[in-house]
A and B are shown apart, each in its own frame.
Chain A
């Protein structure tokens, strides 16, 4: 055996390859961030112009595509109502399903089936959930286009997100905590309600907010269920409503500068709402676990 001495340097080719990949990896990250910066920059730049009181307090009633002015009040109200209703439907079902999967399912056939379809449901295209509500609620049951129909479609998109995040949080609750409660003679359901859910509470809130942020920006399901209106309609159960994403889509499709300006401002408002929800959710998570993983 030949014994070499001293540190044996590695070849220049290997070193170069390592450097090359490093450059590629940094480049990939830069490439991913460029569109984000471009989108945010243009939304702020083009959206600030019409981001005024009139925009936030007026509807589009009697305002044509060429007219300046007009606002998204009707759309903002619509979005808030639709998202709130969607949450009222999706959160209880999602949370209870998560409780079932973690506390009662015990890895049985039903729980595995539900778990699988929750994953599959995450992949249901938003336009399909809109079509489903259209087919079922509006065409078969003969209900009108309404904010509530939109909320139904949004709730289908919310449910799997709520289930997954709540499930993850519930599983983080230490076993010992549950056992301590059982040892005191507290029944299982009271243990879940009084011990497990409160422990996981902030995590669950974070998950719900992320789910809300996701559906607040959905357009396609609203298009098929809420329809479009230029007037204020505060009743989510009756007649067409507007939604902020729908408003952006509608204005973007009109071929005048004033309409495009309104679309940008609508986009800015929408992004502010969604980012705010995201930020608050992240802050809650961050505040809960200061020592983050690598």
Chain B
């Protein structure tokens, strides 16, 4: 089995509070992996450990191993900046840079990574916006501020911004939770297309969404409030939703709790 990301015995802390404990899993390339579980189970925290965004929060730290194709992300000589450049992220609420135009938002990451000619930049921005299914809606107003778009458009702009730097993995932290159903559908369609090129990991509260878009599903749970979250099981999405191995998973899926 091909592996893109391999996690072994991962714990994450906020100060002295242990948020997740003992997580091990393998994430396959060019597939969609969904994380589900009740609030506070640590699925978002875990997602943020995959591109070292967790440690941005003061006092937060991580123990354990995360490997991207046999490179340890938490190795002593690894710069978190280059990790984040390689593993992109889309957030819960759309967060375009308010002072930048649509074009500059998409180009923001590229401009960090070296010099591109104007025509190269034009090409990549167009490709990225097309990749995010946003090109047709914004091609006539690339110079306008990104903040002027609708919520769903802003989120697709953020996806375009993330894929413009050609990451290998795209992490999505509940990307549809702030969106209306139509925009949600648009994003879900987009995810299905993006997995041709990218490895996608998505955290979602919405089980139908997990069932619709993902190939694999991981269920997280926590024993009680204040306890660290743990990975209960991970399997083919169809199996998790029809015939899970664990009782807790079944209870959650069938709506008996959470």
Contact = CB atoms under 8 A, between A and B. Distances in A.
A4 B168 contact: yes
A294 B81 CA distance: 23
Contacts of B258: none
A11 B82 CA distance: 9
A6 B69 contact: yes
B79 A10 contact: yes
B166 interface: yes
A109 interface: no
A7 B114 contact: no
B68 interface: yes
A10 B83 contact: no
The size class of the interface chain A forms with chain B is: 10 to 19
Contact of B82 (A3, A5, A9): A9
The size class of the interface chain B forms with chain A is: 10 to 19
A294 B58 CA distance: 9
Nearest to A294: B58
A11 B115 CA distance: 12
Given A1-B166, A1-B197, A294-B58, A7 B68 contact: yes
Given A1-B166, A4-B168, A10 B71 contact: no
Contact of B112 (A4, A5, A8, A14): A14
Contacts of A15: 79
Contacts of A4: 166, 168
B86 interface: yes
Nearest to B75: A7
B26 to A, nearest CB: 17
Interface in B141-182: 166, 168
Interface in B45-82: 58, 68-69, 71, 73, 78-79, 81-82
| Overall SS of chain B's interface | loop
| Overall SS of chain A's interface | loop
Given A1-B166, A1-B197, A7 B83 contact: yes
A109 to B, nearest CB: 31
Pick from A3, A4, A7, A10 the residue with the most CB of B within 10 Å. A7
A7 B82 contact: yes
Contacts of B81: 10
Contacts of A8: 82, 85-86
A20 to B, nearest CB: 15
A8 B81 CA distance: 10
A5 B69 contact: yes
Given A1-B166, A1-B197, A294-B58, A7 B73 contact: yes
B208 interface: no
A17 to B, nearest CB: 11
Given A14-B112, A294-B58, A7 B78 contact: yes
Given A7-B78, A10-B81, 11 more contacts: A3-B197, A5-B69, A7-B71, A7-B73, A7-B83, A7-B86, A8-B86, A10-B79, A10-B85, A11-B113, A294-B58
Interface of B: 58, 68-69, 71, 73, 78-79, 81-83, 85-86, 112-114, 166, 168, 197
Interface of A: 1-11, 14-15, 294
